Structure 1
């Protein structure tokens, strides 16, 4: 028999089964080769499956069982663009007509059109699936299943926050096993109205197969084919969490910007689902924004995902829909946080789900992505979930005051207070310190203020005055700055204008003092001149150390030794000139490590 297969029947393996007995002439349209090649180049699973099937067909030809040839032209750009309208299918049908061959397909529409046009056709239904389906690995306690080539199947069993990784079988899964399961997942997702392919990228396919969220990876993204399937095993109402009446009232009446945080598997999404259904039962219009869409919510709640790959575009549509509440699962990228903020500031109640191992980490995720003063307007209630239970609730308040640990009134600034909801106790303060936004614990960590002050002051001073200084934080609102004596007039400036400007930038009062080197050890420096360079050499185990270059008792500048204990300077640089001048005055040079 003379056969012309289309793409569908090659990919599902049915065409190979048909011709494997031998004695046939096979004509593969170039349009089919082009389609499979394009899918493989995009990293799509069906493309790689198609390539393997064509290799098997070629092997039959090498064994002398079939005659194989390729026919026609590759599709042009306009035909590719109109592939969904049937242009590629028409090229395949023409191949069958021009070669007086039988068209073989697993595409019902293709077979119907072929019969209408008088083409002899064999329609082979898509295979029913592998002997083992992904659902077969689950029981009522299974949260997720992890399948990888050349390993045994594994699963997480238990409940959110309380689970164990267990081995499901001693049988190692080979590539064919996983390919069969993966193909079955994809084909069912395409045909099931309650399932869909969420995204396809090079080496990755994300599928929502009814209640199962499935990620299929392969080379080049992973080192081999892997299937990870997740299924929610519990669905709780808000009553399950035994929420304090004060918090429940806040969630229902006074807060419209909520962040739910927790580690992976802690139960964040389960709590978000409970909130969504609570708001819906209160007569609110509730939507979700998910990637992928795997929240298990009732039909009244519409689930949205990224529009044309963009959460920003999806957010713009939600602004037109104007829901009362939107559940955003999960907020990850800067674009996601901006969409969350835009919707919230437009009056939409927002519930965001964020990965964070500590409650304060979720708050820090907002810093730098949203203007500091806007954070309490965007999200004012932070709920941390651990082991499926509410562990911490923080709320934010915006005020202007002197931060805790500081004293001088002129250091007053805008501060976001992070308070424990149940104790009403102040836990953290968020404010600008110099050019940096810091989150400072209020209790038990007063030394952190000094540490932050020193780090930031070092950074700012290096930008403004260069090297050759040492600083000491003496209180939460003042510091000592030690510099070489000859630099003091320039640092202070006319009428103190330079030091005043530095104090405003750093946020601390600065006492300028001469730096004479103190009592720490000083190591002799050996100076060598080579062409246009000076080499300052320190003997001993000081490689990589930072310190001051001192002439007698005057600090010239600071620097870092190489691993060999050398500082290399150009002779005409400011530092080089300072060394040459000191040597000309007969001064002795030292290196003083810090």
Structure 2
């Protein structure tokens, strides 16, 4: 019996009748053997079932079909040169036989009928044929003989490679937010070269237990090759043949992000809905997988929903793909599995946001990864897909990542109030207030105005000298005519005057005469409001190895306080029972305070 060893020890085979199956035709192995003179004057019997399967795959735009048909054309050319004899045998299979995978069985039957030797690179096909007593010639797949061509373009610094027909190959090297484009070769890539690389990738993915074809559609194939995601695009989807391969170059733990304990507590709360946003390639998935492993280490049951599945998480965390190409079916299964936390990578389409909302409302803790240039844009993607009043129940935290670093954390709060910039009490309505997580300062308000949903930035504009002068002048008038001490804030169309509660009747006057007279004099509407007493304290600052402690006194324990550095609020926090405000030294705010101490800036605590 012939075997692989004969060929590779240069034993030339003459006048052999062979039946190649789909695997060796797609790989181009028969052509390779003929051109290297290891197979001479062979009678090549091609089952019509093979031709039909390749035609079916090619009509779907799949690479294996296109390359397989090219290989048969090449065999016909070799036949015309007299190097081999080629003919077709059998009958065309039915559509059901193609779809239900009976092609291999038909090929074996033809090998048995013709008394030919079956040539295959498929181990299962080889074993079944041997079990039936057929003559089999097993040729190892290309990836078993050679290193995968695509791997040669990678080194330790490579984030992604970009291979395009008729262009030089180039790579993106560095790390998220800090990378450079590097040309890898002076030679332009041909369609044949890219086709060979594609064959290797697809065949390897079929045989490697940690690799799989994630998406295979007309003109595009997405392959997960171990930790590498490869997108293969061709006509009609793209104008030219193109291969893009990306891989993670770093794997971080949550501690590498230097998060405050308050943020970690929020992440580990199984009843939260969190969106991780950022532009493409910013490190969103790296952060999400760090959170997934952090939660697993805390004892949570963690699962992922991915399309494609490319998160690099530990084996104990199950990664789910869309079931029957529908993510809502995956969600149905996850509700039966009952995980504590799910990472949804990534939330892109309208239906993905609906699935995310359904799972949150069912009580599952969720982290959703989504593309957005700003943190507020991630929230805006929910508008129209989720009812406005439900948004804070679905998502209460947004973590925005740029260049592998957390740039902003927002939290959402639902309340009924007069929107910022409006004055009339009858304009009060349900409003989603979007705040900075650390300082608790409102940044945006989301509400309905007529039939429109408005996302309104709350800008804390700096006062001009003229503005400050107007406030001082109004304060002087109020104190002169009203006989009270006041704090004044002038807005666009009105002024807010804050006085002690006991002084309000005196300022307003009998029947509102005093305040009306002042309004007439200054020509602006005045709102009289009670002054909320706040105490400003210079804290005693203690620097410890892990924390910075601002001591304000036990008499203020349990009250909320703002920490103000150089006139700017950096965080709002509750004072402990010991009268302290404790801040993680490695956190963003901790570093800010250390820098402020070194620079001699004022550090104050304002107690509400």
- Please indicate, yes or no, whether the TM-score normalized by the shorter chain is above 0.5: yes
Contact 1:325 1:349 in 2 (8 A): yes
Alignment counterpart, residue 176 of structure 1, candidates 192, 212, 230: 192
With structure 2 as the length reference, what TM-score do the two structures score? 0.70
Provide the rounded CA distance (Å) in 2 between the counterparts of 1:147 and 1:43.
19
Shift of residue 130, structure 1, vs aligned partner: 5.3
Alignment counterpart, residue 10 of structure 1, candidates 2, 25, 46: 25
User: In the alignment, is residue 55 of structure 1 matched against residue 73 of structure 2?
Assistant: yes
Shift of residue 275, structure 1, vs aligned partner: 0.9
Q: Give the structure 2 partner of residue 74 of structure 1.
A: 92
User: In the alignment, is residue 109 of structure 1 matched against residue 124 of structure 2?
Assistant: yes
Shift of residue 476, structure 1, vs aligned partner: 9.4
Shift of residue 170, structure 1, vs aligned partner: 1.8
Q: Give the structure 2 partner of residue 483 of structure 1.
A: none
Contact 1:130 1:184 in 2 (8 A): no
How is 1:216-255 mapped onto 2 (pairs within 5 angstroms)?
216-253=232-269
Provide the rounded CA distance (Å) in 1 between the counterparts of 2:493 and 2:68.
68
Provide the rounded CA distance (Å) in 1 between the counterparts of 2:248 and 2:141.
29
Q: CA RMSD in A?
A: 2.0
The DSSP-based 3-state class of the residue aligned with 2:268 is helix
Contact 1:186 1:197 in 2 (8 A): yes
Q: Give the structure 1 partner of residue 321 of structure 2.
A: 305
Q: Give the structure 2 partner of residue 212 of structure 1.
A: 228
Contact 1:255 1:380 in 2 (8 A): no
CA distance change for structure 1 residues 254 and 4 in 2, over 3 Å: closer, same or farther? closer
Contact 1:60 1:66 in 2 (8 A): yes
Provide the rounded CA distance (Å) in 1 between the counterparts of 2:433 and 2:34.
73
Q: Give the structure 1 partner of residue 449 of structure 2.
A: 433
Q: Give the structure 2 partner of residue 46 of structure 1.
A: 64
Q: Give the structure 1 partner of residue 213 of structure 2.
A: 197
Alignment counterpart, residue 342 of structure 1, candidates 355, 358, 361: 358
CA distance change for structure 1 residues 116 and 59 in 2, over 3 Å: closer, same or farther? same
Provide the rounded CA distance (Å) in 2 between the counterparts of 1:476 and 1:323.
53
How is 1:357-396 mapped onto 2 (pairs within 5 angstroms)?
357-396=373-412
Provide the rounded CA distance (Å) in 1 between the counterparts of 2:262 and 2:126.
64
Provide the rounded CA distance (Å) in 1 between the counterparts of 2:99 and 2:400.
48
Shift of residue 255, structure 1, vs aligned partner: 5.8
Deviations 1:488-543 (A, max 9, x none): xxxxxxxxxxxxxxxxxxxxxxxxxxxxxxxxxxxxxxxxxxxxxxxxxxxxxxxx
Contact 2:148 2:201 in 1 (8 A): no
Alignment counterpart, residue 153 of structure 2, candidates 120, 124, 137: 137
Shift of residue 361, structure 1, vs aligned partner: 0.5
Provide the rounded CA distance (Å) in 2 between the counterparts of 1:71 and 1:250.
67
Contact 2:166 2:188 in 1 (8 A): yes
Shift of residue 209, structure 1, vs aligned partner: 0.9
The DSSP-based 3-state class of the residue aligned with 1:59 is helix
User: In the alignment, is residue 271 of structure 1 matched against residue 287 of structure 2?
Assistant: yes
Shift of residue 443, structure 1, vs aligned partner: 1.2
The DSSP-based 3-state class of the residue aligned with 2:329 is helix
With structure 1 as the length reference, what TM-score do the two structures score? 0.72
User: In the alignment, is residue 26 of structure 1 matched against residue 41 of structure 2?
Assistant: no
CA distance change for structure 1 residues 244 and 151 in 2, over 3 Å: closer, same or farther? same
Shift of residue 110, structure 1, vs aligned partner: 2.3
Provide the rounded CA distance (Å) in 2 between the counterparts of 1:249 and 1:121.
62
Q: Which runs of 4+ in 1 moved over 4 A?
A: 129-132
Provide the rounded CA distance (Å) in 1 between the counterparts of 2:82 and 2:189.
32
Contact 2:271 2:364 in 1 (8 A): no
Provide the rounded CA distance (Å) in 2 between the counterparts of 1:279 and 1:114.
49
Deviations 1:433-476 (A, max 9, x none): 11111101121699xxxxxxxxxxxxxxxxxxxxxxxxxxxx99
Contact 1:147 1:228 in 2 (8 A): yes
Provide the rounded CA distance (Å) in 2 between the counterparts of 1:294 and 1:112.
33
CA distance change for structure 1 residues 409 and 57 in 2, over 3 Å: closer, same or farther? same
Contact 1:130 1:181 in 2 (8 A): no
Provide the rounded CA distance (Å) in 2 between the counterparts of 1:228 and 1:60.
34
Contact 1:399 1:415 in 2 (8 A): yes
How is 1:109-128 mapped onto 2 (pairs within 5 angstroms)?
109-127=124-142, 128=144
The DSSP-based 3-state class of the residue aligned with 2:390 is helix
Provide the rounded CA distance (Å) in 1 between the counterparts of 2:153 and 2:369.
28
Contact 2:271 2:363 in 1 (8 A): no
Gap regions ≥5 residues in structure 1: 447-474, 478-594
Deviations 1:175-208 (A, max 9, x none): 2222222211111111111111111111111111
Provide the rounded CA distance (Å) in 1 between the counterparts of 2:173 and 2:214.
25
How many residue pairs are counted as aligned between the two chains? Answer: 446
How is 1:410-425 mapped onto 2 (pairs within 5 angstroms)?
410-425=426-441
Provide the rounded CA distance (Å) in 2 between the counterparts of 1:258 and 1:50.
47
Gap regions ≥5 residues in structure 2: 1-15, 463-491, 495-608
Q: Give the structure 1 partner of residue 585 of structure 2.
A: none
Shift of residue 254, structure 1, vs aligned partner: 7.9
The DSSP-based 3-state class of the residue aligned with 1:197 is strand
The DSSP-based 3-state class of the residue aligned with 2:111 is helix
How is 1:285-304 mapped onto 2 (pairs within 5 angstroms)?
285-304=301-320
The DSSP-based 3-state class of the residue aligned with 1:33 is helix
Contact 1:102 1:120 in 2 (8 A): yes
